[in-house]
Amino acid sequence: MVDLHSYDSITGLPNLKSALEFIENLRKGGKRFLVGLIDIDNFSFINDSFGIEAGDRVLKEFAERLRESFDPNYYYILKAISDQFLIVSLKERDRIKEVKYIVNKVERLLEIPFRVNGHEIFLSVNIGFSFWIQFYFGIIPYLCRIKTYFAVFFCCV
């Protein structure tokens, strides 16, 4: 039986609750991992201009593009909140190379416009990364630090 409280109703991705549990289990297991927080820029414009249902369709398509772009054996795509997604990489390689790899993949999936009510819309995103797990002080502060403390690793796509 699927726990509906663990999945986002729009995208079908595991939600923030699942993401936090997943990250906590990785941390407790001593796994090396990288977390990227993908935030769609100015998403409220889509909702305000085309309606919530159109915005939901864009979120669903964006989630599908992320799923199709990354190998599920090494990458976990999760829905954080609103227009934010998490990508967790278990790939064992140089972390800076891994950040570049993820950013390049996201750039490619954004090259194709999203169709909204007969209009083509190009999205842009901000991506923040964290991989200094030894500085972990709890799940929520950890996710907040992705956007603040580790801002040096932000990439605008």
Cβ atoms of 57 and 72 within 8 Å: the answer is no
Q: Look at residue 72 and tell me whether its pLDDT is greater than 90.
A: yes
The string of pLDDT tens digits covering residues 137-151 is 444 444 444 443 333
Residue 32 neighbours by CB under 8 Å, 6+ apart: 90, 92, 131, 133
Write down the pTM of the prediction. Answer: 0.82
Domain coverage including residue 133: 4-156
DSSP 35: E
Output the pLDDT for position 2. 52
pLDDT, one tens digit per residue, over 104-115 is 999 999 999 999
CATH of the domain at 98: 3.30.70.270
Residue among 76, 98, 100, 99 nearest 19 (CA): 76
User: pLDDT of 23-41, one tens digit each?
Assistant: 888 888 878 888 999 999 9
Which residue has better confidence, 128 or 75? 75
Band the pLDDT of 93: cuts 50, 70, 90. Answer: confident
Comparing 149 with 84, which gets the higher pLDDT? 84
The stretch 6-26 carries a mean pLDDT of 90
Task: From 79, 43, 42, 39, select the one nearest 58 (Cα to Cα).
Answer: 43
The predicted structure's pLDDT at residue 102: 95
**Domain count for the chain:** 1
* Whole-number pLDDT of residue 68: 97
Distance (Å, rounded) from C-alpha 92 to C-alpha 99?
12
